[in-house]
Each structure stands twice: as C-alpha cells, then as structure tokens.
Amino acid sequence: MKQGNGTVPRIGVYVCHCGTNIAGNVDVKAVVDFASKLPGVVVAREYKYMCSDPGQSLIKNDIREKNLNRVIVASCSPHLHEHTFRHATLEGGQNPYLFHMVNIREQVSWVTEDKMSATEKAKALVEAAVYRVRYHEALETKEVPVNPDVLIIGGGIAGITAALTLANAGKKVYLVERDYSIGGHMAKFDKTFPTLDCASCILTPKMTAVKDHPNIHLFTYSEILEIDGYVGNFTARILKKPRYVIEDRCIGCYVCVEHCVYKTPKFPSEFDEGLGLRKPVFIPFPQAVPLIAAIDPETCIEFKSHRCKKTCQEACRDLVGRDAIDFTQREEVVEVQVGAIIVATGFKTFDARRIPEYGYGRYPNVYTSLEIERLVNSSGPTGGEIVMRDGRKPRRVGIIHCVGSRDRNFNPWCSRVCCMYSLKLAHLVRERTGAEVYNFYIDIRTPGKGYEEFYEKLMQEGVHFIRGKVAEVTDWTITPEETGKLVIRVEDSLVGVVRRIPVDMVILSVGLEPRDDAEEVRRQLNISCSSEGWFLERHPKLAPVSTFTDGIFIAGACQGPKDIPDTVAQAGAAAAEALALIDRGSVELEPNIAVIDEQKCSGCHVCIALCPYSAIAFNEEKNVAVINEALCKGCGVCVGTCPSKAITQQLFTDEELLAEIEGVLLV
C-alpha cells in the first residue's frame, strides 16, 4: 500500500444504519468488521442514525480520544449530510476536508434487494475511501462577501410576494417579468377558492406596492439573457424587449389606444385568452402594473407596411403632450449584480387540443377553465356575464376534471388545483346563470383548510357530481332533448352505466405543466429539473425552496403544481432563505477548485480557452495561467486537458482518485 501525504493516517470509519434504510439491505456489522481490519483504521463503528447528535458525538469524541486524523462516514448522499459530518469533524478538532463520505444508501441499499451484493458493494466503497483519505490534506476555505441585492425572475404572485418581503426588509430587489404587466395567472382570476374573495382586491394592491416600492426595480416585458457568477456574486444580463412606448413618458391614459387607426379592437387579447379583442396599440388590462401602453409589431400596420398614419403617435404628442410613442425603439440589455436569485417562473396550462375527443377548438362551446376565469371576471370581455360564443346563456354546464392530469397518455401527476377551481367555477356559474352544473371527476381532492367544507357547500347548492372519466364530448345527438347540445359521454362508475349528459357548455379543467422553456431556464441557472420539468428542490421536505446551486431559490408553481396559499407560503420561505444568506454577509467557497503549479505551467493557454466559467486568466509577466478561485467551479476540464499536468483539483487529485480505484478493486 502506498503511503499517504506524510502523516501516519489514523482513520475512523462510521457506518450508518439510517434506521432500516441501509441496515435493511446491507449487513452493517459485516461492513464494520471488514473496515476495522483495513490498514490505518483505528476505529470502526456502527450507529443507527449517524447524523443525529449522538452519532456526531461519536466522531467528535473519537477524534479527541483516539487522535483520529481522518474520518469516513458511510451513509447517505453527500448532498444530504456531507456538510453535517464535515462540521462534526471540525468540532472534533480536525480540518473538515480530512473527512470523506461514502454513499451506501442511494447508491447501494436503495437500488438493490440483493443483500449479499449490497454488503459487498458497501465494503468495496468503504475500502476505496480508506485508501483515498490517506491522501487528503487540510484545506482552507475562502470567504467572499455577499452582494445584498436580489434578483427575482417572474412577476406572478410568488415573485410579487418574495419581492415585497425582501424590499420591506430593506433589500434592493430586481423583479423581472416576461409579460407587459406583473400579476401572472392570478391577475386573470375573478374569485379565489375556498373563500371566494376577489382575486383583484387581494392582488392589485400588492402589484401597486411593487411599483411604488423604492427598493424594487421592476423590469417588465423583459427576459433573462444570461446568469453568471456564483453564490453571493451573480451577474444577470436582462433583455428589455421594445414595447415601442417610452416607459417613463407614458401615463396610461389610453389616448393612443382611442386614436389608433383601427376604430374598433380587432385582434384577440392575450390577457382575455382570446375571448376579448384588442387593438395593435393596447394596455393589457386596466389594472396592469405598470400601466403603460405597448404596440404589438405583429398586428400594427406601421410595422407591416410603414404606411400607417400613426394617429396614435400624433395623439400622444399633440393631445397629451407626452410624445411617448417611439416606433424606432430597440431592445436593450441591462446588467445587474446580485447576491441571490429567486426563480418564480410559474406554470402553463395543459393544451386541451391534445385530447381531440374533448372537442376543444372544434366545438365553440367547449372552453378551458382559464377562458371561463375571464368570462366570469367582472373586468373580463363580457363584464362578468356568462354568455357562450354563440351569444346564448348556458342552461346546462358540464365541467370535466383532470384534463391532461392523472393520465398516462399525458401527465401522470395530479395538478392539485383543478378540483378546487372546478368547484369554484361550478359555484360561480350556477350563481350567475342558475344553470344545472355537472362535475365529472375521477376523485375529488380537497385537502386544504376550508376546502372539504367548500365541497360540502357545493353539494348542498345542488351541483351534480358524476364519478367517471369522460370518454368524449360529441355533437352526435340521439334524442330530442339532446338536439342542439353537446353530449358528454361518460361511464358513471358509481352507478355502473354509460351515460349521455346533454349540456350547452363544456368547461375543461386543464392541468398544470412546466413552462415550455423550463429546460432552457434550468440550464441558464445551472439548477436541476425533475423528469417532468419542474424545478427540483434541494430536499422535498427540509429544503423545499433551495436548489442544488447555492444562492438560487425557487418558489411557486415552477417547482410543482400548487395553489395560491402554498405559492405565497413558498415565496415567503424563499425570501427568508435569501435574507439569511444576505445577512450572513459572506459565504464560504468550497475548496474543490483547480490549482496551477506555476513551476510546471508552460503558458500554452489551452486551459484558458476551455474553461466554461472564464475563470482562468494569463499572467504575462510570469508566463503562467492563473485561476480565479472565486470563479472556479471545480469542473475539472482544465485539469484533464493540461498537457504539462500542471493543474490539480483539490479533493480530486490523481493520487486520491487512483487510491480510490485501487481500494474498490482490492475487495
């Protein structure tokens, strides 16, 4: 066996049971016996929960009493508890980087039912660690100051809540929203479940507060181009798209809209889900924040032919005296420095056209739930009156739950909000029209404060509930009663018969999905996504708003489907986590970075071009490459490519890796 780094290694090995998580599949005692006989091992122990206080005390006491200078814990993933055990090593009086962690849970006990091979693999990994740690050296961490400003991506209720919390704590916030106005999906809703309080009355004051807050810098109609840097010191490049209206001149007076050459609105309004119309120059909705007009170049005559009379511009200049319209406006890139980032990019709704048998897009009286939200909204395209596309008022309405959700053909997950919003819409439709309302559900899921009571209330109101997955919505009618109606065909699984329910209007309760560009955003921020595309939290229970990238937090439906109360709670949590980071003032950087041996460096520049983080500069005087410790992420690209073998990566030196391989192969 090779010698280590000079000091005689005195190794302590601790094998964790993790309750039955590890001990259920790995013969822990056999691993401990095996470890105790390995060279350099002074003590080997097992314990039920190594991460608990008594577990950590074992390490600390052994370091003191048995003069350990290396510590190995074989337990779970380093993602979970590396920090815990490094800290215990430090408390015991040794440098934390003399500790090494072996993962025998996620990589051993959880992935097999074969106890024999699990135990053998655990032994091999432990032996590898024993060989490796002898090359470990005491490493120093570097502290860097944290920029106290925060970037929030997404101006829905999650982003708004987080921004206000941080701004009220005195932090400077940059809030970036892709759309013309903040408010997100919630701004489109009329009422919110289960209390039926008006969405506008609770949201719009917050939107105004964001606009007026001296600590919040709002970027609307803007997107993130690039994020650079690391925890405490990020640089974000923000693209401000042209709205062809100068923001600080516009007062939202609508004069330009009134004087557009189009006398009446002609183009589908995005905010009204296409149920209402707008002009090429428009304000998305009256409560928009900021209340600023925008011109859509896709529909504006001036952009298409350059032959418009530009009456909007003339009116703004001559009637209002603001001269805010600028057809030559260009996009602009702004760079900001922040210490923490909160991602609150929200969700998109399932495209109901993907289920053609439900008829969306074919039958005009089939609506998505988001369209109905606009239809029941008193500031919506019909002023809150529920009339169908053919102008009639519905007398019978069917609401189909789980459209695109809980379906192996589409999305396997439950979208969590659809049951409750379907009940809410059922209530509102019945209240406004007196229509008979039928809910078609697989299971009603109402776990939340006051939610089950709301369901009970709906049943008492006389809303019908039919349990069964709808087969199709069809205009194939048989009886006179069905004539002129849409027929919902469903197996009523409580009665055990196939039923045909004729209705005037169908509402599809579409599920929630990750946004189309979630993968792109994920890559930009270097965070993780679940296989479905939701952003991944650091721990599903104990770190629900942290990501695996320090300094970046997530909040709201971009992490998974959730309703407004849960979104707001998460946004508060994300703000608190960001505050904790900022107020600490500095962060320790992991020492797993690359180091250049100036003696060996030939100054060939190869590493500089390859570094993905631009962390390597060149010192002309000494003719050597120089790594910026703060920028290096420890990816190892330069280490592998240096032709002179002048670069090593701390914690992953050649000696350490070769010893580890040797240890694995020896068993």
Partner 1 sequence: MAYVYYPGCSLKGTGVSYEKSLLATFKRLNIPLQELDDWNCCGATSYMSISEEQALLLSARNLALASENDGDIIAPCSACYMILNRTANILRDDRTLRQKIVEKLKNVGLEHLNLSVRVRHPLDVLVNDVGLDTIRSAVVNKLTGLRVFPYYGCLIVRPGNGFDHPTYPTSLDRLLEALGCEVIDHPLKTRCCGGSLTGTLEEVGVRLVYILLKEAKKRGAHTLATLCALCQFNLDVYQEKAARKYNEAFDFPILFFTQLVAFALGANPRDIGLEHHFVPAEQVFEMVR
**Residues of the shown chain interacting with partner 1 in the complex, contacts defined by CB under 8 A:** 356-357, 359, 362, 472, 474-476
- Of 509, 508, 536, which is closest to residue 522 (Cα–Cα)? 536
Residue closer to partner 1 by CB (options 211, 500) is 500
In angstroms, what is the minimal distance from the CB of 478 to partner 1? Answer: 8
Specify the residue for token string 């596309």. Answer: 389
In angstroms, what is the minimal distance from the CB of 387 to partner 1? Answer: 25
Residue closer to partner 1 by CB (options 359, 634) is 359
CA angle 91, 96, 102 (to 5 degrees): 110
Torsions phi, psi of 17, nearest 5? -80, -30
Q: Are 139 and 651 in contact (CB under 8 A)?
A: yes
In angstroms, what is the minimal distance from the CB of 359 to partner 1? Answer: 8
**Number of other residues whose CB lies within 10 A of the CB of residue 455:** 20
Residue closer to partner 1 by CB (options 469, 633) is 469
In angstroms, what is the minimal distance from the CB of 471 to partner 1? Answer: 9
Residue closer to partner 1 by CB (options 356, 450) is 356
Using only C-alpha atoms, what is the Rg of the chain?
31
Taking the C-alpha atoms of residue 560 and residue 537, their distance in angstroms, rounded to an integer, is: 10
Q: Are 35 and 64 in contact (CB under 8 A)?
A: no
Taking the C-alpha atoms of residue 237 and residue 174, their distance in angstroms, rounded to an integer, is: 12
In angstroms, what is the minimal distance from the CB of 506 to partner 1? Answer: 13
Q: List, in sequence order, the alpha helices (H) in 105-156.
A: 115-133
Helix-strand-coil split of the chain, %, nearest 5: 30, 25, 45
CA distances from 379 to 37, 191, 207 (A): 77, 12, 17
Residue closer to partner 1 by CB (options 305, 409) is 409
Residue closer to partner 1 by CB (options 402, 525) is 402
Q: What is the DSSP string of 331-389?
A: -EEEEEEESEEEE----EE--GGGSGGG-TTTSTTEEEHHHHHHHH-TTSTTTT----T
In angstroms, what is the minimal distance from the CB of 357 to partner 1? Answer: 4
In angstroms, what is the minimal distance from the CB of 69 to partner 1? Answer: 57
CA distances from 203 to 179, 180, 558 (A): 17, 16, 19
In angstroms, what is the minimal distance from the CB of 502 to partner 1? Answer: 14
- Of 472, 463, 470, 381, which is closest to residue 422 (Cα–Cα)? 463
List Cβ neighbours of 569 (8 Å cut-off, separation of 6 or more). Answer: none
In angstroms, what is the minimal distance from the CB of 486 to partner 1? Answer: 10
Residue closer to partner 1 by CB (options 476, 493) is 476
In angstroms, what is the minimal distance from the CB of 407 to partner 1? Answer: 13
Residue closer to partner 1 by CB (options 409, 531) is 409
CA angle 521, 527, 530 (to 5 degrees): 90
| Beta bridge partners of residue 512, listed in sequence order | 349
Residue closer to partner 1 by CB (options 476, 494) is 476
Residue closer to partner 1 by CB (options 260, 355) is 355
Residue closer to partner 1 by CB (options 341, 486) is 486
In angstroms, what is the minimal distance from the CB of 398 to partner 1? Answer: 15
Residue closer to partner 1 by CB (options 264, 483) is 483
List Cβ neighbours of 434 (8 Å cut-off, separation of 6 or more). Answer: none
In angstroms, what is the minimal distance from the CB of 273 to partner 1? Answer: 23
Q: Are 141 and 589 in contact (CB under 8 A)?
A: yes
Question: Three-class SS of residue 588?
Answer: strand
Taking the C-alpha atoms of residue 221 and residue 155, their distance in angstroms, rounded to an integer, is: 11
